[in-house]
Structure 1
């Protein structure tokens, strides 16, 4: 009976749409509801990192940049974009993305304090 109840919940969640089902990230509860602070929103990401975030090829990434009106904020058109603008486009337009890649970019950019002697 419990198995049937679980199956029916999955079917109803599928019928209602992907947003109706609770989202879970396997083994990483810290990623479930993560909001960027102001410093993280101002991180600059390159076109290559955008491709990894959106899980698309280079050509599609450039189409997305044009379609969703992301502005290049790098010096001299270097292809750098604010991470806050990218996440706003993801949430506004429902673009598929890799949460793991965003978290890896954030972890790479964090300022680490040197270890104490």
Structure 2
């Protein structure tokens, strides 16, 4: 049975891969100064979408928002990707966007 793994369940299933992910990927690659975290998020979402790795899209969308990517920019990213990664990939990615929130009044 397929189950998406998050940071905690990955650690239970494969402690070494979880360690490498934390130390190398998020502790080094994501911390490099040439690309901003915002740019890295956009690149990551584009790759996940193009490769059909939708199990990780939800987490990376939330992470992108933390890195300053707006919902409108995410929508535009996936619309743009429809022409380069394929329509089904873009529509699948769009399904992971959270519903728009009503502005506070």
Report the TM-score, using the length of structure 2 for normalisation.
0.26
Quick check: which has more Rg, 1 or 2? 1
Structure whose residues are more often helix by fraction: 2
Report the TM-score, using the length of structure 1 for normalisation.
0.24
Structure whose residues are more often strand by fraction: 1
